[in-house]
């Protein structure tokens, strides 16, 4: 299945520079409709306001982490089917396992480039 590059994507990260980097990588891949949220609580509000085709979230954020956001999204019937990619600086296997159990679609360890991001997105939509 081809990826719909017109679908809205929500990038969630409390670090503005990282949001800008991810936004630029998504633009390189071909996505044009990219929104952002600075933490999990803001992301939940945005997710209830608009139908996103993909969520890309950092793990480590305050006050609500990406992991907590993932669990909230998966427990909400209206949101539970949204593809969710987690980004983290830590490649701890217990985090990967916890995220998989919570329903994450894919996982990216920083640093990464457009090719890596595209591969992870492709895997989510082809899987």
Task: Give pLDDT, residue 91.
Answer: 79
What is the pTM for the complete model shown? Answer: 0.96
Residue 58: burial class (beta carbons within 10 Å; 0-12, 13-18, 19+): buried
Task: Give pLDDT, residue 92.
Answer: 86
Length of the chain measured in residues? 127
The answer for residues whose C-beta is within 8 angstroms of residue 32's C-beta and 6 or more apart is: 5, 6
Please work out, in degrees rounded to the nearest 5, the angle formed at the alpha carbon of residue 15 by the alpha carbons of 116 and 122: 20
Query: Is 1 a residue whose pLDDT tops 60?
Result: no
Q: Helix, strand, coil proportions of the chain in percent (round to 5)? A: 45, 15, 40
- 8 Å CB contact between 37 and 14: no
Evaluate whether the domain defined by 9-117 bears CATH number 3.40.50.2300.
yes
Q: For the chain, what are the domain ranges?
A: 9-117
Tens of pLDDT, residue by residue over 13-38, are: 999 999 999 999 999 999 999 999 99
């Amino acid at each position: 299945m081809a990826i719909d590059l017109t679908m809205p994507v929500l990038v969630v990260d409390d670090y503005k520079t990282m949001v800008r980097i991810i936004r630029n990588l998504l633009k390189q891949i071909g996505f044009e409709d990219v929104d952002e949220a600075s933490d999990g609580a803001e992301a939940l509000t945005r997710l209830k306001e608009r139908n996103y085709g993909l969520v890309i979230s950092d793990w480590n954020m305050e006050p609500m982490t990406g992991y907590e956001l993932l669990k909230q999204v998966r427990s909400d019937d209206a949101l539970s089917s949204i593809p969710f990619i987690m980004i983290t600086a830590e490649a701890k296997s217990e985090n990967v396992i916890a995220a998989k159990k919570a329903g994450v679609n894919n996982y990216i360890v920083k640093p990464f480039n457009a090719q890596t991001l595209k591969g992870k997105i492709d895997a989510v939509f082809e899987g």
